[in-house]
């Protein structure tokens, strides 16, 4: 995906900022604790691949 898109795209739930994880090919919303995968350069906002998480996976224990 284009780096410019990561600056303007927002969470579909709260319209907040999404955090890009290049090594996981996912975007995260810290406010909603949701992760949105990127498959073949397409951001997935619906379906079984969108998952609620307990915390941001990049945070340390």
Per-residue pLDDT tens listing for the chain (61 residues)? 677 887 899 998 899 999 988 888 899 998 988 899 998 888 888 777 777 877 655 554 4
Contact criterion met (CB below 8 Å) for 35 and 49: no
The alpha helices in the chain, defined as continuous H runs, are: 3-8
CATH topology of domain 3-52: N-terminal domain of TfIIb (2.20.25)
The two structure tokens encoding residue 25: 């090919």
pLDDT at 22: 82
pLDDT at 43: 85
pLDDT at 61: 40
Q: pTM to 2 decimals?
A: 0.73
CA-nearest of 20, 33, 3 to 50 is 33
């Amino acid at each position: 995906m284009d780096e410019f898109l990561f600056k303007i795209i927002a969470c579909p739930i709260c319209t907040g900022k999404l955090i890009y994880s290049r090594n996981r090919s996912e975007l995260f919303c810290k406010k909603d604790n949701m992760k949105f995968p990127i498959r073949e350069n397409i951001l997935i906002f619906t379906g079984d691949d969108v998952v609620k998480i307990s915390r941001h996976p990049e945070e340390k224990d």
